[in-house]
Amino acid sequence: MTARRSHTSRCRQGFAPVSIAHRGMRVTWAVQDIEQAHLAASIDCFDIEELMIASIRSPGSSGHVDAHTHGGVDFCCLGFQMQGTQLLRNHRGQSTVAPGDVVVWSSRMTGEFEFPGTNHEVLLFVPTLQLERTWGRLALDDTPKVLSSTLVMVAMAHAGVRALLQQRCELGLEHQSEAVKAVLDLASKADMPLRPTLRSKSDLFTEILQHIERELGNPDITPQSIAGRFGCSVRTLHALFATRGETVSGMIRKRRLERCRIELGCASMPDRIGDLAVQWGFSDAAHFSRLFKASYGVSPRAYKNRPDSA
């Protein structure tokens, strides 16, 4: 697998688009040499099962990533800063990634990057669905996350990446896979305290409800992905809801139905019940209609067309 320059993608004037791809993932970014000279970058790509790794060395450069230029499945990327400093800019402001840091970003983000000097970065691409299910603590909202090299787990993850690059040719595919999963395990625990801190079950429950509310439109949200996101077991998650007379799936369903009910009450809502169901995470319009009627006593269409709707 090799990187390629593509001149068919749209990008800003003076920038050269670069793409790498593996199975269902296609990653594209646009690069410009700071001094407007030829960009002498080397990109070494290899894949391990569903994951893709790219080791990139370049002189000082800048560029941008736009969410709409990627292709295939959504992905998350862990960027291990091996040499040089990286500056990131997006709608939230600017972040600095120093040697030894890890920056986590996703295909849903748009932003700019700059390498003031010689740079070496190792990028580990993971399908978003796989990351949320297995390494949920690395899941993102809408802005990159920088994990500091001062964190013990980040330093260990960096050491694992460096060892993998140095010894990859001596390792079989099975051992390469285990090594990458170990790196992701370490990175996902980076911001966990070395000693347990006391967090009340009430606070945890509130945080989980807030997360569910943000992800209602995601059809892939499950008890497993939620447990991974908050670093607890699925059993603990179910117990947390059971003490309040709820189930995880039941709460997700209830909140989705309520969002749909609110939108059905808006006179400006288009007359497409099926689209509304999909928008709020229901995969089947008929199933959504049955659930809605069971909860509110009328069908979605009847609720929308009721005389007092305005």
In this structure, are residues 279 and 217 in contact, taking their beta carbons and an 8 Å threshold? yes
In a 10 Å sphere around its CB, with 0-12 CB exposed, 13-18 middle and 19+ buried, how is residue 16 labelled?
middle
Q: What is the pLDDT of residue 144?
A: 87
- Mean pLDDT, residues 188-192: 78
CA 250 to chain centroid:
25
Q: What is the pLDDT of residue 193?
A: 54
The closest of 231, 148, 257, 135 to 185, measured between CA atoms, is: 135
Residue 296 pLDDT > 90: yes
The closest of 64, 4, 55, 57 to 30, measured between CA atoms, is: 64
Residue 309 pLDDT > 70: no
pLDDT by residue (tens digit) across 37-82? 444 568 889 999 999 999 998 887 888 888 778 777 889 999 999 9
Close Cβ partners of 203 (under 8 Å, ≥ 6 residues apart): none
- Rounded CA-CA distance 222/144 in Å is 23
In this structure, are residues 95 and 79 in contact, taking their beta carbons and an 8 Å threshold? no
Residue 13 pLDDT > 60: no
- Rounded CA-CA distance 160/60 in Å is 26
Q: What is the pLDDT of residue 2?
A: 38
As assigned by CATH, the class of the 4-188 domain is mainly beta
CA 13 to chain centroid:
29
In this structure, are residues 237 and 252 in contact, taking their beta carbons and an 8 Å threshold? no
In this structure, are residues 255 and 216 in contact, taking their beta carbons and an 8 Å threshold? yes
Mean per-residue pLDDT of the chain: 84
More confident residue, 92 or 87: 87
pLDDT by residue (tens digit) across 263-273? 888 877 767 88
In this structure, are residues 144 and 88 in contact, taking their beta carbons and an 8 Å threshold? yes
Q: What is the pLDDT of residue 53?
A: 94
pLDDT by residue (tens digit) across 108-156? 888 898 988 889 999 999 999 899 888 888 887 678 888 888 888 999 9
The helix or strand, by DSSP H or E, that contains position 236, with its residue range, turns out to be: helix 234-242
- As its CATH architecture, domain 198-310 has Orthogonal Bundle (1.10)
Q: How many CB atoms lie within 10 A of CB 12?
A: 11
pLDDT by residue (tens digit) across 211-262? 999 889 888 899 998 988 887 889 999 999 999 999 999 999 999 999 999 8
Domain ranges for the chain: 4-188, 198-310
Residue 299 pLDDT > 80: yes
